[in-house]
Amino acid sequence: MSSLQIALDEYLSVRRALGYKLVLEGRLLRRFIEFAKHARADYITTELALKWATQPAHAQPSQWANRLGMVRRFARYCCPNDPRTVVPPPDLLPHQYRRVAPYIYSDQEIIRLLEAARQLPSTIGLRRHTFATLFGLYAASGLRANEALRLDRDDVDLINGVLTIRDTKFGKTRYVPVHPSTRHALQRYANLRDRLCRTPSSPRFFLSDRGTRVTYDM
């Protein structure tokens, strides 16, 4: 194991102990370590950080700046233990973040999306219902993508029509009441899911044909 890999494990452990999740940052910094390994680099330099940060070439400048910022924070942690470490200057990749204008789906577009989801191929007949119900829940509740995917069965109160959203973006839990029509749709899905998938391997509310949780990549 390289010295940079050891330092990264310590860095992530320390920051996570302070309450930072660092899911994306941890994943990207591990890619940076692999990049450094292929470059035969034992310590961080500005040139190394800049080459890695500006990949992929088609990415937005804001993404490059974010990647460089991750390496800068890691480099500051490495400095006391390895004086060869160079912390890249903060203004190497200046950018001004511009939020993309949101696209609001019309009612007809949502209906077409749900109809298309109901046509998805499925080995046991569950997949099409999983995605149609999931997309319908997004439209009806405004939940973030992963909030709905992380719902366990116990988080969905089908009697009172209340969803328990745990460990949200800011580490809090909140309750989301849903319309009776949404509750009925969730109940129909739950009945069908339990009939088609009698021995699931996951406690999640939304399941794949194999009885596993539905991931963001899916």
- The tens place of each residue's pLDDT in the chain, 218 residues long, gives 789 999 999 999 999 998 888 989 999 999 999 999 999 999 999 999 999 999 888 888 888 999 999 999 999 999 999 999 999 998 888 876 677 888 999 999 999 999 999 999 999 999 999 999 999 999 999 999 999 999 999 999 999 999 999 987 667 899 999 999 999 999 999 999 999 999 999 999 999 999 999 998 88
Structure tokens at 109: 């577009």
Neighbouring C-alpha atoms within 13 Å toward the C-beta of 164: 10
Query: Which pLDDT score, from 0 to 100, does residue 97 have?
Result: 65
Positive or negative, the Cα torsion across 156, 161, 166, 169? positive
Q: Quote the pLDDT of residue 172.
A: 83
User: 80 and 43 in contact (C-beta within 8 Å)?
Assistant: no
**Active-site amino acid positions:** 144, 169
Within 8 A by CB and 6+ apart from 125, the residues are: 196
The packing angle between helices 23-38 and 3-17, to 10°, is 170
How many CB atoms sit inside 10 A of residue 205's CB? 26
Q: Which two tokens stand for residue 123?
A: 């080995």
